[in-house]
């Protein structure tokens, strides 16, 4: 059962969180209190949060598309804006889709798609062994398969030409801008999940180049990017033989490249 601290203790937690720069200190305090089984565990969790660890890594989960996604220390934390990518993918998916989620991290995107599109065949991959372990916790209950390796390399060859929805939450921060990221991401999330190379599009180029061999006719690749990168991202997809378009959400500050393999 969660601990039930006194009002004074609760206020002290909020004060510590606010002093550490937590904008939603009251909400975070309630989440920490609910997650802790003992006063000692609560104290440790507050200390970890105040030291700068992402809240999701401290409590062990993130709310994503209405699901509780397990998030372990050192794992990329699912962003709320990525829910927009999930909604775009759901709108494009046929019945009983074959879904591949590359750069899957915690497996949040794949898990959300599997929940919304059940029944679906789900495969996910990541190069980070820790992410693979975490993703298996999240997509395993949906019958999904998670592979360790670089992009398409570990996927079963039987998937080639069969994938209806290919998502890839690729890193897209230019290397020279990593230092500008919030400390939570810069210090506590894997660099491989953040660093997109010189212009931020190195991994996207590799995914776009390989996508036509894996997509079914009419299948689509969906990738999160930024507004300043979207034109280059579209050109990259077009060069690979895909038909690109961009979807945007001002509310979530999200930009998604949707690149479709021609049906003909």
**Full DSSP string of the chain:** ------HHHHHHHHHHHHHTT-TTHHHHHHHHHHH-SSHHHHHHHHHHHHTT--HHHHHTEEEETTEEEE--TTSPPPPTTHHHHHHHHHHH--SS-EEEEES-TTSHHHHHHHHHH-S-EEEEEES-HHHHHHHHHHHGGGT-EEEESSTTTTS-GGGTTTEEEEEE----B-GGGGGGS-HHHHHHS-GGGTB--SSS-HHHHHHHHHHHHHEEEEEEEEEEE-TTTHHHHHHHHHHTT-EEEEEEETTTTEEEEEEE----
pLDDT at 170 over 90: yes
**Which residues are registered as beta bridge partners of 248?**
255
**Distance (Å, whole) CA 134 – CA 61:** 11
Q: Which pair of tokens denotes residue 216?
A: 């079914």
Q: Give the percent of the chain with pLDDT over 70.
A: 99
Every domain of the chain with CATH number 3.40.50.150 lies at 82-260
For 57-75, what is each residue's pLDDT tens digit?
999 999 999 999 999 999 9
Predicted local confidence at residue 8, as pLDDT: 76
Predicted local confidence at residue 184, as pLDDT: 92
Q: Indicate the angle between helix axes 25-35 and 39-50, nearest 10 degrees.
A: 140
Reported pTM: 0.94
Cβ proximity of 137 and 78 under 8 Å? no
pLDDT at 1 over 70: no
| Domain spanning 82-260: CATH 3.40.50.150 | yes
For 172-230, what is each residue's pLDDT tens digit?
999 999 999 999 999 999 999 999 999 999 999 999 999 999 999 999 999 999 999 99
């Amino acid at each position: 059962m969660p601990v039930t601290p006194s009002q004074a203790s609760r206020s002290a937690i909020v004060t510590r969180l606010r002093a550490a720069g937590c904008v939603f200190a009251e909400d975070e305090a309630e989440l920490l209190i609910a997650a802790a089984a003992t006063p000692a565990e609560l104290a440790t969790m507050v200390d970890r949060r105040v030291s700068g660890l992402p809240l999701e890594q401290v409590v062990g989960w993130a709310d994503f598309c209405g699901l509780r996604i397990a998030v372990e220390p050192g794992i990329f934390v699912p962003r709320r804006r990525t829910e927009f990518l999930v909604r775009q993918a759901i709108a494009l998916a046929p019945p009983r889709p074959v879904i591949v989620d590359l750069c899957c991290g915690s497996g949040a995107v794949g898990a959300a798609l599997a929940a919304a599109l059940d029944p679906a065949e789900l495969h996910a991959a990541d190069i980070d062994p820790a992410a693979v372990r975490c993703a298996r916790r999240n997509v395993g209950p949906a019958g999904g398969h998670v592979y360790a390796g670089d992009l398409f390399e570990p996927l079963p060859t039987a998937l080639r030409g069969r994938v209806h929805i290919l998502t890839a939450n690729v890193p897209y921060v230019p290397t020279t801008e990593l230092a500008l990221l919030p400390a939570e991401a810069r210090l506590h999330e894997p660099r491989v999940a953040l660093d997109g190379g010189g212009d931020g599009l190195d991994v996207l180029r590799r995914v776009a180049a390989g996508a036509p061999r894996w997509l079914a006719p009419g299948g689509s690749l969906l990738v999160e990017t930024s507004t300043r990168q979207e034109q280059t991202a579209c050109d990259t997809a077009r060069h690979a033989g895909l038909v690109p378009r961009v979807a945007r959400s001002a509310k979530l500050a999200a930009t998604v490249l949707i690149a479709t393999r021609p049906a003909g």
